[in-house]
Amino acid sequence: RDGGEQFTFQAEVTRLMDIIIHSLYSNKDIFLRELISNASDALDKIRFLSLTDKSVLGDGDTSNLEIKIWLDPASKVLYIRDRGIGMTKDDLIKNLGTIAKSGTSAFLEQMQKGGDMNLIGQFGVGFYSVYLVADYVEVVSKHNDDAQYIWSSTADGSFAISEDTENEPLGRGTLIKIHLKEEAQEYGTEAKLKELVQRYSEFINFPIYLETEKEVEVPVEEEETEEAKEDEKEEEGKEDEEEEGAEDDEEESKEEEEKPKATRKEKKKDWELLNDNKAIWLRKPSEVTEEEYQKFYKAVSKDYTDALNYSHFRAEGDVEFRSILYIPSFSPYDFYDKYYEKAQHGLKLYVRRVFISDDMKELIPRYLSFVKGIVDSDTLPLNVSREMLQQEAALKTIKKKVVRKVLDMIRKMAEAEVKCKEMEEKGETEDKPSEKECGQYGKFWEHFGRAIKLGIIEDTTNRNRLAKLLRFHTSKSGDKLTTLDEYIGRMKEGQKSIYYLAGTSKEEVAGSPFVEQLLRKGYEVIYFTDVLDEYVMGHLLDYDDKKFANASKEDLKLTDKDEVEKKKDKELKEQFKDLTKWWKKVVDDSKLQGVKVSNRLATTPCIVVTGKYGNSANMERIMRAQAF
Ligand code: ADP
Ligand code: MG
């Protein structure tokens, strides 16, 4: 576009667009899903504002909260228009090009590693996917606070912004003009668009219309006769007159058969509603199919793979709400990296079907923020600000119930896994859970095991429930993971504690002198190898009345000693008194708390252990690495 102010894209955005526009990625379909999702977000925003100020909606067509899609086959331009909040000039500059989002570089990195283009929406840069199918894009937008502007770019590193003097006034909202590339002409047909909208956007909560052209047969004289009839009705308005009219029709159709030339085909354009935008969560669970749940998941989550599991329920009582909660199959790309900086709360809050916010940390605790889905409550007030809503006591009740539902869902997966394992060991097959159910928890643990551990640290109320979900290797678990309950089931008679040792690998821990004696005596030792494990154990002091004991600490007791053993210990202590004194002299006193004769070793002559209250060597290693 000539004229207008020129802007340069932020450097990473330029790289991103460059990759997209030259991409050979075959699934270009995703652009439509991303643009519709932006349109829907913009509609949610204006609808939310209208709760406290009706006037923001305007009147006439402008107040229709809808999305319209149409084509101009001659110029190969695809149009998508929403009546959402729109963008001011400043918004256009910032949102579409100059402000870097944290997801931009992360997405570039993923793409370099051969990641899937499909993930683009999750990184917060979905808009640019339009360049998969376009070589030139214009965004016309009208926000209530500004004039109508056009943003345009050919993805050559720069974009232009100018006040719009050429297009029809939008009233409010955004119109995206997509000039289709030569190799993306397939998107220039109604059939393709219809298929895509139905596939990806069925559960968008605003009506989506596509302009379709239908061929209709019109009798040549139609106009005349119709008019004549209307006139008659208006004048007389009597039934007998209409009957006469009907007779006329019959006569006419006879004539037509005799003279086929009298009909002609006419193309008529019309808006066809493509989605059933009734809220899926209002339906009975028994009436929603698995496929519909998965489609809805994709609409709310920006994920493109199926959810691992879901739960659809209705809570009754003082606080009423409906909810569909999903556990994704994969953890979001920055879930653990940005755990404390960025709260990504995947739950969307609705009040009486109206979208309120997808950023309510009052709805779900941080460690479960990977859960996606919706909560729709009739109890919460509708016409208050977000800040006031956050103060609502009902939110606490909702959060509590949501947490319980999520943990229930996880527990059931975990129990199914244990059951499958037991049945396999016994060779039983009757009433065995399906293969899918047997494998679900393994997948969950792989992606969200660390979230469960973080939960043990953060959620004191549910600590025990969460501990039940832990999976780890032990000296007796072989290649499989095991649970605390299974460990307890295998405990030796008289065994006081649950023993564990943390380190960098299973091999390292298993070969450590710290566990020598324990293993020789046949005690099972948990091998913790995740950096989080020792933090977790700092919070989880016992389980099922059994204390945890770190094998690298000084006070490790294997069993209660009898009198004979105690006497023997004393004798040994005396015998080696000189040696222990000598040790203290040769080693720097400030670094050593004490030297003791002990019977915790089997073949190794001596080891350095950690004091009862100090950090273990493993913990010190981790802290050094993380520069706390
Ligand atoms: P995301 O939707 O994850 O924020 P996108 O790259 O899809 O990332 O969009 C970037 C931003 O551009 C949006 O956050 C929004 O502010 C703005 N935007 C995009 N499309 C529209 C639209 N149709 N109406 C209003 N704002 C929009
Ligand atoms: Mg988007």
Q: Is the CB of 126 under 6 A from ligand 1?
A: yes
Is 427 labelled as part of a ligand binding site?
no
Q: Tell me: the pLDDT tens digits for 375-386?
A: 999 999 887 788
Mean of pLDDT values over 572-587 = 80
Radius of gyration (C-alpha) of the chain in whole angstroms: 34
| Pick from 186, 180, 192, 170: nearest CA to 39 | 170
Q: Tell me: the pLDDT tens digits for 293-343?
A: 999 999 888 888 999 999 999 999 989 999 999 999 999 887 887 788 766
- Model pTM score: 0.81
Mean of pLDDT values over 383-396 = 86
Distance of CA 583 to the CA centre of its chain: 57
- Protein residue with its CA nearest to atom 11 in ligand 1: 95
Q: Tell me: the pLDDT tens digits for 398-424?
A: 999 999 999 999 999 999 999 999 999
Integer angstrom CA distances of residue 541 from 159, 497, 498, 525, 538: 59, 11, 10, 16, 7
**One-letter identity of residue 353:** R
Distance of CA 54 to the CA centre of its chain: 32
Q: How far is the CA of 40 from the centre of ligand 2 (A)?
A: 9
| Pick from 339, 337, 111: nearest CA to 120 | 111
Lowest mean pLDDT among 68-72, 249-253, 454-458: 249-253
Is 97 labelled as part of a ligand binding site?
no
| Pick from 214, 222, 215: nearest CA to 256 | 222
Q: How far is the CA of 53 from the centre of ligand 2 (A)?
A: 26
Give the span between the Cα atoms of 48 and 68, in whole angstroms: 20
Q: Tell me: the pLDDT tens digits for 140-174?
A: 999 999 999 999 999 999 999 999 999 999 999 99
Q: Is the CB of 16 under 6 A from ligand 1?
A: no
Angle between helices 239-258 and 222-236 (to 10 degrees): 170
Closest approach atom of ligand 1 to CA 38: 20
- Protein residue with its CA nearest to atom 14 in ligand 1: 95
Q: Is the CB of 137 under 6 A from ligand 1?
A: no
Q: With bands split at pLDDT 50, 70 and 90, how would you rate the model's confidence at 555?
A: low
Q: Are 566 and 542 in contact (CB under 8 A)?
A: no
Per residue, the 3-state secondary structure of 234-263, as one string, reads HHHCCHHHHHHHHHHHHHHHHHHHHCHHHE
Q: What tokens does 182 get?
A: 């030569």
Q: How far is the CA of 405 from the centre of ligand 1 (A)?
A: 32
Give the span between the Cα atoms of 87 and 66, in whole angstroms: 17
Q: Tell me: the pLDDT tens digits for 478-533?
A: 889 999 999 999 999 888 899 999 999 999 999 998 888 889 889 999 999 998 99
Give the span between the Cα atoms of 234 and 221, in whole angstroms: 20
In this prediction, residue 83 carries a pLDDT of 97
Q: What tokens does 301 get?
A: 């989550």
Residues with CB under 5 Å of ion ligand 2 are 38, 126
Integer angstrom CA distances of residue 302 from 34, 81, 381, 601: 9, 21, 28, 55
Q: Is the CB of 103 under 6 A from ligand 1?
A: no
